[in-house]
Structures are given as C-alpha cells and as structure tokens.
Amino acid sequence: MLDTGQDIRSDWSVDEVEALLRLPLLDLVGRANTIHRSHHDPNDIQKASLLSIKTGSCPEDCAYCPQSAHHREVELTKEKLMNPAHVLSLAKRARDAGAQRFCMGAAWRQVRDGEEFDNVLEMVRGVRSLGMEACVTLGMLKPHQAQRLAEAGLTAYNHNLDTSPEFYGEIIGTRTYQDRLETLSYCRDVGIDLCCGGIIGMGESLRDRASLLQVLANFDPHPESVPINALIPIEGTPLAHRKKVGIFDLVRMVATARITMPQTRVRLSAGRSDFSAAEQALCFLAGANSVFYGDVLLTAPNAGTQDDQDMFSALGALTEG
C-alpha cells in the first residue's frame, strides 16, 4: 500500500500551498484522494483517545485556550496531576473501547524535573504495556527530558505550531515560534515521532493557513501525524466571538495537508463534534485517516463514542490494528 514515489517533498513554497488551498474544491479533493490511496489504506482510520492529566492554571496566554490562567472569566475546574494508576485505568478503558493511541495532556508551560515528570514517565510506560501507542503534550522540553521520554517508550510528542509564523504573535505572547520548533527538534533527535498541527478559525487569512502547512510540509521527515483543529470558541477567552469553522474550510485544510504530506496521519481533532457523519466522511475522502476518539478532548466536547461507532460502522472503516 505504501508508495515511496517522487511526491514526497520538503521544499514547498507558501505560494504553492496557497494555490492548492484555492483550487476548486472537487479538484482539490480528487487530487488528495488519489495521493491518499497511493500511500494509505483508505479504510484505515486510527482512533486516538485524549485525556487531560493536569487541567488549568497554565501560565501561557494562548488566546484560544480555556486552560490559560490569563483568561480569568473562563469557567473551568482546575485539577492537579492525576495519579498514574487512575490514568492507566482510563487508558485501559479507552483501549477496550477501540482506541489504539492514548494521548495525555498536561497544562504546563514546560516540563520540570521531579516527581510529577517521573509520574508522567510511569504513565507512558504503563500505556505502552497495555499495547497502545503513547503520546503526551507537556509544553516545552529540554533535550534530556526528551531522552527520558524516549527511554520510557513514548511513541509521539504533541506540540502544535497552532498557526503561521506571521500570525502567531496575534494568538500567543508567552512563547515564541522558535521555542516550539526547538522542542520538536529535541524529540526528533531522540527518535520520538512528531504530532504537530494547528488550528483554523482564529482570524487568520488563507495565506496564514498556507504558511502553517508550508512549515509542516517542509519538515524533513514530515511529522508522523498532523492534527487539524477547528477552533471551539470558548466563553471567557479572547476568541469567544469567532464564528465556527465551516466544513469546506476544514476539508480544504485536510486535502492540502494530504497532498503536501502524503505519508502523514492527518487527524480530525478539536471541533469535530460540530460536523455530521457525512461531513466527516468528506474529510476522510480528502485524506484524513485519524480522529480523536472519546466524549471529551482535554476540556472541550468531542463527538460521542456511540456516534463514532455508528459512523465507522456505516463507513465500513477498519479502526483496529
């Protein structure tokens, strides 16, 4: 199924990516679907479960995030780092419900050595012992922390770029784009896969969306997974007034990600609950082949597990192994 032909590139220009985003939708989806089928089983859709293992009080000022301590009007129950045994019981439940990857997110600016990080390492080892892929998102890392995660068996590190370098300063002021790139490079250096994507619907231009995808597509190698998030406007955050993303904008991002990163898992992530099964099927046709699975994504609502099971049954999708 996997084709290692000449369509794997890491030299895309922003103009080229923007031209793809501007194609007539059916032409874009058709092109993406052809590439998707040359590199993937189109019926193989990975299920990834996501759990917030430490919630709220984050010192970052990300405009979209309800967990930021800067957004005091957000109603959010703050929670300290979970006990590893409890996390692993939830991971087992997710596995039994069909999840293949278990992702754990802590609302930290950066990892600090000590008991809490040791507990996260224990969680990673436990998830791997359950036969699942393990992914974490913990904020910024130092090289030795990336090495310890690798030694614990971590499959992937999630560290999104969020948006284009040009628009980034409109959304985040407490961490630079280069900070994000450095953490990703530390993970790559020790053999941890990269889970790195972005968010649309924050007020960015089409050019910004092209620029984000251009940065991702020019990684060499490409990120192993790219989550495409549609902003969920949360009351109390600076982006609460933003309109929700339309399905065709999401499909264009998915299709363009597939064309520029043929071998990557393109994951439907936040905002998926706003779209019908038929609308999500259009995303799968355009090249998406992974979803976050479960009723909650960190602190945001997600498509219901039963709804997903019904959708996958209707699609006849292979979602195991």
Catalytic residue among 31, 101, 135, 252: 135
Task: Show the tokens assigned to 34.
Answer: 């052809």
Structure tokens at 4: 């290692």
From the candidates 65, 187, 196, 283, give the one annotated as an active-site residue. 65
Q: Which residues contact 287 (CB under 8 A, 6 or more apart)?
A: 32, 33, 35, 36, 254, 255, 257, 258, 259, 266
- The string of DSSP letters for 146-205 reads HHHHHHHT--EEE---BS-TTTGGGT-SSS-HHHHHHHHHHHHHTTPEEE--EEE-SS--
Between CA 92 and CA 142, with CA 127 as vertex, the angle to 5 degrees is 145
Verify whether residue 196 is a known catalytic residue. Answer: no
Catalytic site includes residue 283: no
> Among residues 195, 209, 252, 283, which one is catalytic?
195
Active-site residue flag, 62 = yes
Task: Tell me whether residue 135 is one of the annotated catalytic residues.
Answer: yes
Active-site residue, from 31, 62, 95, 101: 62
Q: Which amino acid is at 54?
A: K
Q: Residue 223, CB half-sphere, CA atoms under 13 Å: how many?
A: 30
Candidates 31, 95, 101, 103; catalytic one: 103
Note whether 89 and 79 are within 8 A (CB).
no
In 3D space, the residue among 237, 158, 254, 159 whose CA is nearest the CA of residue 203 turns out to be 237
Name every residue whose Cβ is closer than 8 Å to that of residue 282 and which is 6 or more positions away in sequence: 29, 247, 251
C-alpha separations of 100 from 3, 78, 128, 168, 297 in Å = 24, 28, 11, 32, 16
The Cα–Cα gap between 93 and 49 comes to 10
* Residues facing residue 265 across a β-bridge: 225
**Selected catalytic residue, list 101, 252, 267, 272:** 267
**Strand, coil or helix: 16:** helix
Active site (annotated) includes residue 187 = no
- The catalytic site residues sit at 58, 62, 65, 103, 135, 195, 267
